[in-house]
């Protein structure tokens, strides 16, 4: 469509140019052919008409192109189209890299200091160790926040498509459990994960998306758990499921409906300062649905009973739609 509009614009410009040429030629021709003035008047009229028509065509094609760009972005509230999102993503990746550099230095120095303290046990103040733990805890937070924003840009860019790849879900869950095991241990909590069946094998999915969704769920679970987080991977012939359970206080039924709202956090209700962006669950469910799956929650906030929260991610295995080129 954009090619047609470009052709129309060029045609309009050519017609308008023809009109200008005619208007310029008219008096020149008129001057040299004084006894043929009859030829001058029509040429002027034709030139003027062509100029008006050409400008009209060109303006109309510009207006049409503008309208198309708006309608393409309308559903997402963007100001620009495809190129905007690509450019934003590129800038963001650069930004992420540059922000990561000082953070790597901070994390590196923190680890060096920890090594120095370990070499001289008993001499360090407990408060110093707590501070180091806090820096270490914030590192996965930073990784997740950066990842959330990147995924959000991609999610809201309809032209960026990710293809299906062969993925081993148990390997993804294992990685995330490894990442959060140390974080949880520092807070006196445990993460246990397992797969049923033990050898689940490959599915065809978007590994970035799965990793992103499950990371958000485990991050939340570790934050709100009292002592335990469990991550269980199961499957049926058409789908695979990741259940992330924590023994935290649970979520009141009046809040469950807002859980997946963009920007909602429990602090919003308590009118306190937000401890997170509130984007994680919104992005997680949007991604799950975009991939043909879903993300649901089951929770119990009964203080006397078995209070807990369990998120269930279900995604299609796409085993019948495996793309060519992969083993």
Q: Is 105 in the site for other proteins (CB under 8 A)?
A: yes
Q: Is 291 in the site for other proteins (CB under 8 A)?
A: no
CB count, 10 Å around CB of 207?
17
By CB under 8 A, name the one of 177, 203, 279, 284 that touches other proteins.
177
CB-count exposure of residue 325 (10 Å: 0-12, 13-18, 19+):
exposed
Cβ nearer to other proteins, comparing 111 with 258: 111
By CB under 8 A, name the one of 44, 82, 139, 322 that touches other proteins.
139
Given a contact cutoff of 8 angstroms between Cβ atoms, the answer to whether 214 and 242 are in contact is yes
Spatial neighbors of 325 by CB under 8 A, at least 6 apart, are none
Q: Whole-angstrom Cα distance, residue 176 to residue 174?
A: 6
Cβ nearer to other proteins, comparing 121 with 127: 121
Q: Whole-angstrom Cα distance, residue 62 to residue 145?
A: 40
Number of residues that bind other proteins (CB under 8 A): 47
By CB under 8 A, name the one of 68, 82, 207, 322 that touches other proteins.
207
Which letter does DSSP use for residue 236 in this model?
-
Contacts 24+ apart (CB under 8 A), 94-102: 96/146, 96/150, 99/146, 100/142, 100/146
Q: Is 233 in the site for other proteins (CB under 8 A)?
A: no
Contact region with other proteins (CB under 8 A), list: 56-64, 160-168, 249-257, 272-280:
160-168
Element holding 223 (H helix, E strand): helix 207-224
Q: Is 193 in the site for other proteins (CB under 8 A)?
A: yes
Q: Which residues bind other proteins (CB under 8 A)?
A: 93, 96-97, 100, 103-105, 107-109, 111-112, 115, 136, 139-140, 142-143, 147, 150, 162, 165-166, 174-175, 177-179, 181-182, 190-194, 196, 198, 207-208, 211-212, 230-232, 325-327
């Amino acid at each position: 469509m954009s090619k047609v509009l470009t052709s129309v614009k060029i045609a309009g410009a050519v017609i308008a140019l023809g009109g200008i040429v005619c208007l310029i030629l008219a008096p020149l021709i008129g001057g040299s052919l004084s006894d043929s003035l009859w030829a001058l008047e029509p040429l002027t009229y034709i030139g003027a008409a062509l100029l008006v028509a050409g400008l009209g065509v060109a303006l109309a094609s510009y207006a049409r192109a503008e309208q198309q760009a708006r309608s393409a972005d309308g559903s997402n509230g963007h100001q620009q189209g495809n190129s905007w999102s690509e450019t934003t993503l590129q800038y963001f990746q650069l930004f992420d890299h540059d922000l990561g550099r000082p953070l790597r230095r901070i994390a590196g120095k923190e680890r060096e200091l920890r090594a120095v303290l370990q070499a001289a046990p008993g001499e360090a103040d407990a408060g110093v160790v707590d501070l180091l733990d806090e820096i270490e805890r914030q590192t996965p937070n930073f990784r997740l926040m950066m990842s959330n924003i990147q995924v959000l840009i991609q999610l809201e860019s309809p032209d960026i498509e990710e293809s299906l790849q062969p993925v081993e879900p148990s390997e993804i869950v294992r990685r995330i459990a490894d990442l959060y095991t140390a974080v949880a241990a520092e807070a006196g909590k445990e993460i246990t994960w397992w797969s049923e069946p033990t050898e689940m094998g490959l599915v065809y999915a978007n590994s970035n998306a799965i990793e992103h969704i499950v990371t958000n769920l485990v991050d939340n679970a570790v934050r709100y758990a009292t002592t335990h987080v469990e991550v269980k991977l199961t499957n049926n012939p058409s789908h695979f499921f990741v259940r992330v359970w924590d023994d935290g206080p649970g979520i009141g039924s009046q809040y469950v409906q807002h859980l997946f709202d963009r920007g909602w956090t429990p602090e919003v209700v308590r009118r306190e300062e937000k401890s997170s962006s509130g984007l994680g669950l919104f992005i997680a469910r949007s991604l799950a649905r975009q991939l043909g799956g879903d993300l649901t929650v089951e929770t119990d906030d009964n203080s006397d009973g078995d209070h807990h929260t369990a998120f269930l991610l279900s995604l299609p295995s796409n085993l019948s739609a495996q793309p060519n080129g992969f083993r």
